Structure 1
Amino acid sequence: MSAIRDLLTALRGRPGVDAAIVVGRDGLVIDDESRDGVDRERIAAHAPALLTAGDDVGAAANRGALVTLVLEHERGGLAILSVLSRDASLLVLLDPSADAGPLLQELRRERARLASLV
């Protein structure tokens, strides 16, 4: 698991990243790095519903399975859910000051390598 830990530590070290959580398809936390006050278990518990909804939209639009989901909330900040494998996803919480563009590009570019870690 040290490879996962290294990934999470690197992500959490980026400016504006409040949490990096690897979550199982069952909604349980596999591993995480998060700032104090982030309710990682509660957040992770919602991942299965998000994944299912994303897959359903993709099927209805004839676009295939969900790969990445970006959520923006009224008090600012983004949540990025990136599917790594059939059994695990990466959930990254960004504060409003974070630049999500480079992170999204990196997640897309490194998807296969990240998937090999879980």
Structure 2
Amino acid sequence: MKPTDTAEFINSLNASVFAQQVGRALSDVAAGVVDHGKPGEVTLKFKLKQIGQSNQVTVSHTLDFVQPTKRGKKREDTSLDTPMYVTENGHELFQTSPTDQMFTREQAPVVAREV
């Protein structure tokens, strides 16, 4: 099995919303660190659990961050689940390419009319 493409993996979680949340957290925490001279923290956590007897897993993904403020800190965490397939290409949102055709022209259930 190939290693999972990390960028594609994170972009697939929660329809790319998770990647946007991580980016926002990194920017906010970095700004707090620079503005207030105190350390901040961003933590990503992944838990995987098999779905039934299939080649699918539920990826529980958690974003937790601590942003320093003038008089303390601001903490937020968010956690959601995304089902993914385990394939020869690593973790993927779809088992096959979503742009693959389901039927060939000869197998198409509706025959095109000739004009």
Is TM (by shorter chain) over 0.5? no
- What TM-score does the superposition give when structure 1 sets the normalisation length? 0.28
Larger radius of gyration: 2
| Structure whose residues are more often strand by fraction | 2
- What TM-score does the superposition give when structure 2 sets the normalisation length? 0.29
